[in-house]
Chain A
Amino acid sequence: MLSLENIINGIHTWLNNTFDPTLALTCEFVLLGITAIAIFAVLGLVLVLMERKVAAIMQIRKGPNRVGPFGMFQTVADTLKLIMKEGLTPDGADKVLFNLAPFIVMIAAMLLLAPIPFAKGVQMWDINIGVLFISAVSSISVIGILMAGWASNNKYSLLGAMRSGAQIVSYELSAGLSVITIVILTGSLQLSEIVNAQQNGWWIFKGHIPVLISFVTFIIAVTAETNRAPFDLAEAESELTAGFHTEYSGMKFALFFLAEYINIFIACAIGATLFLGGWMPFHIGNWEGFNAIMDYIPSSIWFVGKTFFLIFLMMWFRWTFPRLRVDQLLNLEWKYLLPISMLNLLVVTVMAIMGWYF
Chain B
Amino acid sequence: MITQYLFYFLTFTAIFCALLVVFSKNPIYSALYLIVTFFATAGHYFLLNAQFLGAVHVIVYAGAIMVLFIYVIMMLNLNKEVEPHKSNIIKIAATVCGGILGLVLIAALRETELGEITEYSNNGIGLIEKLGNVLFGAYMVPFEISTVLFLSAMVGAVFLSKKNIH
- A interface with B by C-beta (< 8 Å): 94, 97, 127-129, 132-133, 135-137, 139-140, 142-143, 146-147, 150, 158, 162, 165, 169, 189
Offer 17 A-B interface pairs, CB within 8 angstroms, sorted by A.
A97-B32, A129-B128, A132-B55, A132-B56, A135-B55, A135-B59, A136-B55, A136-B63, A140-B58, A140-B62, A140-B63, A142-B63, A142-B67, A143-B63, A143-B66, A146-B74, A162-B71
- B interface with A by C-beta (< 8 Å): 28, 32, 35, 51-52, 55-56, 58-59, 62-64, 66-67, 70-71, 74, 79, 127-128
Contacts of A135 in B (CB 8 A): 55, 59
CB proximity of A234 to chain B, nearest CB, Å: 14
A128 touches B127 (CB 8 A): yes
CB proximity of B55 to chain A, nearest CB, Å: 4
Sorted nearest first, the 10 A-B pairs with minimum C-beta distance are A139-B63, A136-B58, A132-B55, A136-B55, A129-B51, A136-B59, A146-B70, A129-B55, A139-B59, A129-B52
Q: A132 CA to B56 CA in the complex, in Å? A: 8
Partner of A133, one of B35, B55, B66, B71: B55
A147 touches B58 (CB 8 A): no
CB proximity of A331 to chain B, nearest CB, Å: 16
B67 touches A143 (CB 8 A): yes
What residue of chain A has the Cβ atom nearest to residue B127's Cβ? A128
B64 touches A139 (CB 8 A): yes
Contacts of A129 in B (CB 8 A): 51-52, 55, 128
B28 touches A97 (CB 8 A): yes
Contacts of A139 in B (CB 8 A): 58-59, 62-64
A132 touches B59 (CB 8 A): yes
CB proximity of A48 to chain B, nearest CB, Å: 28
Known A127-B51, A128-B51, A133-B55; judge A150-B64 contact (CB<8 A).
Answer: no
Contacts of A158 in B (CB 8 A): 74
Partner of A162, one of B28, B59, B63, B74: B74
Q: A143 CA to B38 CA in the complex, in Å? A: 13
Contacts of A127 in B (CB 8 A): 51
Q: A150 CA to B27 CA in the complex, in Å? A: 12
Partner of A147, one of B32, B52, B55, B128: B32
Q: A127 CA to B28 CA in the complex, in Å? A: 33
Q: A158 CA to B28 CA in the complex, in Å? A: 14
**Which of A127, A143, A158 gathers the greatest number of chain B CB atoms within 10 Å?**
A143
Contacts of A136 in B (CB 8 A): 55-56, 58-59, 63
What residue of chain A has the Cβ atom nearest to residue B57's Cβ? A136
Q: A147 CA to B28 CA in the complex, in Å? A: 9
CB proximity of B43 to chain A, nearest CB, Å: 12
Partner of A143, one of B59, B62, B127, B128: B62
Contacts of B32 in A (CB 8 A): 97, 143, 147
Q: A127 CA to B49 CA in the complex, in Å? A: 11
Q: A127 CA to B64 CA in the complex, in Å? A: 23
B28 touches A150 (CB 8 A): yes
